[in-house]
Amino acid sequence: MRDDMRGMFGNLRGASEEERQEAFDKLRTAREDAEKSLAKILMPNQLERLKQIQVQQQARGRGGLSFTSGEIADELGLTEAQLEELRNKAEELQTEMQAKVAELRKEADEELVKMLTPEQQAKWKKMVGEPFEMVIERGGPGGFQGGQRGQGGPGGQRGQRGQRGQRGGNDGDI
């Protein structure tokens, strides 16, 4: 099913709004079909638990924005005003979290550099040179609510995901 989804969404970068909507409708249908198949196999309590785990995973991936996704927002009975407030607050919190992570990263780097000898510190300072700030835009169009991702693979275009490596074993292919 995952490969079907990749095929369905792999080439949406230059797609029109109608093509995107059609692809999302196909995704919704595929998800509904999968849920029907699972309902035939799983006990009701297992199906409920699976849905809970799906919501948890979505919350981990999107944070507070998981409230604003269609099914969750509908289930919670959120109004448009609430959705807008949630989106604004989530964006504010995202900015705060990024600042905190940047500060923690800086502190960690400083602590690790202190472990080097003075000579190593001097070499390190020369290796990194003057600070350079790079703006990394996240989330694609419409903010950080999720951007476009392509099929990926080796040498993929910017914004595309690469292939996952094999797990386990050490064949020396590093």
pLDDT digits over 154-172, tens only?
444 444 444 444 444 444 4
pLDDT digits over 52-68, tens only?
998 888 888 777 678 78
Mean pLDDT for the stretch of residues 36-59: 91
Domain definitions of the chain by residue range:
14-120
Amino acid 17: pLDDT: 85
Mapped onto helix, strand or coil, the DSSP state of residue 25 is: helix
Which of 99, 155, 82, 37 is closest to 74 using CA atoms? 82
Instruction: Provide the whole-model pTM.
Output: 0.50
Mapped onto helix, strand or coil, the DSSP state of residue 54 is: helix
Mapped onto helix, strand or coil, the DSSP state of residue 110 is: helix
